[in-house]
Amino acid sequence: MAFCKLNFKRNNIGKPGFNNDFDKLYDSIFKKLSPPMAIEWFPTYYCNSHCRYCGGYDRKAISEFEPIIPHEDIIEIVRLSGEGGTSMWNIGGRGGEPLLYPNLIDILALIKQQGMKGILITNGLLLNNEFVTKLTGIRWDILRISLDSHLSKIHDEIRQVSGNFDKIDKALILFKRFKKEYNTPLPNIVCCPVITNKNYSYILEYIDYCIEKGMDEIQFMPLTEVHEEAKKLSLSEKQREEFITLIEKARSEKRVRHNIGFIISQYKNSNNRPEDNSYNSSYDKLYCIHLWKTMVISEDGHLSPCSLIKDKLVRITGSYLDAWNSGIMNALRGKILKGEFINAACQDCCGPLRNETLDFKQYISSKKSSS
């Protein structure tokens, strides 16, 4: 799962400290629609891994998919988005491996040249010497690596690709070396383990491994039971309790950034549905801010509502802003403002996306109380 968080920070007591991004978003929702603050792009349907829990596309139907968006088209969108005020590109994360897209590094370099920041999500299989060197050289911002265990046997079993762990381990060594040679802290390396019944009991050792390898952050991901194979990896109630007990020991971990508080809340509360978080305002029905903040480009150049919903709304032809401000997109925004779900998947929205909206509603509340 991929998501791009708004730029806000939390203070020591867990309350968000807001900046101008929320001001811009407020105006875009309730006054005049602005260009997307972020663009989420899924470069390809294809993947070189076979993750047991993956919610990606059915490989048996891969031949029925339309071609990937042409290189020159995505280059043009990058250029125009940089001129239009987009600040972030989030690439990959819902079933295809981005590094399989031809000449991807050229697109990443242009994103940086246009003054934007970027997040790239990968399974790590193609993080060879050449790519690691180039990614470090362009000062890419964040690289999220799907690493499910510090033990090669467990990681490779979950990913069902022999040698996957070893390739990631070697890439981490390369990044540490090249970042030192280039005298840069970038890219920030974020490891993203999905919690399963195969890896949960080694979670403290996993944290130690990430610190030893120079990771900047760990983002623990809850398992989504998208199909029967994924359900086989789900924690039992007893395992859930054991996991919470283990991860609680690391809640105060200071050596690496992490989302331990979030993952604990997810496993203590198995109900993942959007919460009713009323602030007694006229905007209480708003349950999602994504369609005003992030433009999601699917593998073949259509827009999708969000990274979790694969509906193809409208194909990008000409200016990407025409698609962003199209009738079908605005109709969905209207439904959201009325409190109506636009897709069945909205009822089981993941924590990060849901929490973005809750933080924004706190911003609305603070804005009203100070006026």
Domains of the chain: 37-370 (3.20.20.70)
| Out of 25-39, 196-210, 274-288, 309-323, least confident range | 274-288
In this prediction, residue 274 carries a pLDDT of 46
**pLDDT surpassing 70 at residue 301:** yes
Quick one: average pLDDT of 98-126? 96
Quick one: average pLDDT of 193-210? 97
**pLDDT surpassing 50 at residue 200:** yes
C-alpha triplet 345, 42, 299: angle, nearest 5°: 90
In this prediction, residue 82 carries a pLDDT of 94
Quick one: average pLDDT of 179-208? 97
* pLDDT > 90: percent of the chain: 65
| Out of 43-57, 259-273, 357-371, least confident range | 259-273
In this prediction, residue 72 carries a pLDDT of 93
* pLDDT > 70: percent of the chain: 87
In this prediction, residue 365 carries a pLDDT of 83
In this prediction, residue 128 carries a pLDDT of 97
In this prediction, residue 18 carries a pLDDT of 43
Average pLDDT score, the chain: 87
Quick one: average pLDDT of 111-115? 97
Quick one: average pLDDT of 18-34? 86
Quick one: average pLDDT of 156-170? 97
pLDDT bucket at 112, cuts 50 / 70 / 90:
very high
Quick one: average pLDDT of 238-243? 96
**pLDDT surpassing 50 at residue 283:** yes
In this prediction, residue 54 carries a pLDDT of 87
Amino acid at 13: I
Amino acid at 349: C
Quick one: average pLDDT of 14-36? 78
| Out of 51-60, 210-219, 262-271, 277-286, least confident range | 277-286
67 or 41, which is more confident: 41
In this prediction, residue 31 carries a pLDDT of 93
**pLDDT surpassing 80 at residue 280:** no
